[in-house]
Amino acid sequence: MRASSIAYACAGGDMNVRTAVLLLLIGSVLAIATACGKEQHGPPTATVDLSNVTVDEAYARLSRAMTREGQVLHTRVSVSSEQGSAGQMRPYYTTDFWIDASTKSLREEYRLDPSVDAYDLATQRTLIVVGPYVYTPDDPDEALRSDVKDFCPQNSDPVISYLLECGGIQLRQEAASTRARFDANLEHEGRRAAALVFEVDGEVFRGTFTTYIDPATFLPIARKAEPAEGGGFPRSIAAYEHEFVDAGSLDPSLFDPHSIGYGAEDARATLDAIATEVPVHWLGEEFTPGDGLPELVLVRLYKDDPGYFKEDWKAGGHLVYESPGGLSGVDIFLWTPSEFDAFMRSESGAVLNDPLCVGRSALTVGGGDAEIEDLDLP
């Protein structure tokens, strides 16, 4: 894992001497010789014939490379970019990925480098991908679900697209003008490498994004973004470091969207507490009504709600459902008989007794009878 980071550090120029001295002090003489020597930049890579590999096959091999039974791939991506009027290469951000390729799950933790002016940039972010969905924090302690929409050229795998960071604005806005190719015979830092190359030729952005791949492992080792003349984006370099970790050693909630605020917190425990006072009728944590209606997600619930709309609505329990994208959905109020009687005597409840305001219909659900009252709340 460390060899790739050493090679990248040595390529940074001024870091050569400091890195060499540091590693000599800890006795890593061999690492210095191979990673920082003037003529050798890394151990030789075994010859692998990749001459007939297509772009589609390259993606398939990358997917297999990320997969190990009982293990999770941990990848750190360190990005530097041209910054300031002088265009100096400086640290920009670091992203840690945890990937369980067998379940198509990914967790991303992004951190902006402290040296970067964060005036209009997020300083940190955590998101989770499960299958075709991405879960992204919205408000504090609340996350929303949406379809993954930004993919690498000629690919539709969400995990690969996040690992290769194909959701950047340069590729996202110019997807229709991006060509992909696989190059089997390149070099990176003095070592043989293959690469996925994305060439962007759009109205806003023009340039080349080259993701170098280790021919032996088929995992990415670096990425270079090179703008064309007036290409609309800065030059950047990314270094990849990988390690496989036993899945059993990780937090079980690592890939659980609830860990970043999706859905209601401690829903079962709160429902159990409500059930001690009033029968609980609910739709589950997620509900698909069908007939073209949007899905619903339990996002909040309250015990002994003092009055969500107004004091008239005091209830023993209150469940709030929204669409996965955060649109308002259904509110369920759970009253004890005495609470409901009090509600019906209130100004709000009195509306239910006015035939001019309310339409009624009967419905049988799950073996129980219900009455639907259609009205506009005051």
| pLDDT tens digits, 314-341 | 788 899 999 999 888 888 888 888 888 8
Backbone angles phi, psi at 170, to 5 degrees: -65, -40
Contact 334, 319 (CB under 8 A): yes
Q: 6 CB contacts (<8 Å, ≥6 apart)?
A: 19, 23, 31, 35, 36
Q: 253 CB contacts (<8 Å, ≥6 apart)?
A: 259
SS3 state of residue 35: helix
Give the lowest-confidence range in 75-89, 201-215, 246-260, 364-378. 364-378
pLDDT digits (tens, 9 = 90+) for 30-43: 232 333 333 333 45
- How much is the pLDDT for 91? 94
- How much is the pLDDT for 346? 86
- How much is the pLDDT for 172? 61
Confidence class for position 376, pLDDT limits 50, 70, 90: low
The alpha carbon dihedral of 233, 237, 243, 249 has a sign of negative
Contact 40, 34 (CB under 8 A): yes
The whole-model pTM stands at 0.77
What is the C-alpha separation between 334 and 280, in angstroms, rounded? 7
- Assess whether pLDDT exceeds 70 at residue 360: yes
Taking residues 85-113, what's their average pLDDT? 93
Q: What's the number of CA atoms in the CB half-sphere (13 Å) around residue 276?
A: 7
What domains sit in the chain, N to C, each tagged with a CATH number?
1-43 (no CATH), 50-249 (2.50.20.10), 263-345 (no CATH)
What is the C-alpha separation between 82 and 122, in angstroms, rounded? 18
- How much is the pLDDT for 204? 79
pLDDT digits (tens, 9 = 90+) for 257-282: 999 999 998 899 999 999 998 989 89
Q: Is 245 left (phi over 0), alpha (psi -120 to 50) or beta?
A: beta
Contact 166, 108 (CB under 8 A): no
Contact 97, 106 (CB under 8 A): yes
Confidence class for position 1, pLDDT limits 50, 70, 90: very low
Greatest mean pLDDT among 13-22, 207-216, 363-372 lies in 207-216
Taking residues 342-352, what's their average pLDDT? 83
Give the lowest-confidence range in 19-28, 113-122, 217-226, 366-375. 19-28
- How much is the pLDDT for 32? 26
Spell out where the chain has E strands: 71-83, 88-100, 105-112, 124-130, 133-137, 143-147, 178-188, 191-201, 206-213, 220-227, 236-246, 286-287, 296-305, 315-322, 328-334, 359-365, 368-374
Confidence class for position 252, pLDDT limits 50, 70, 90: very high
Tokens of 108: 């991303």
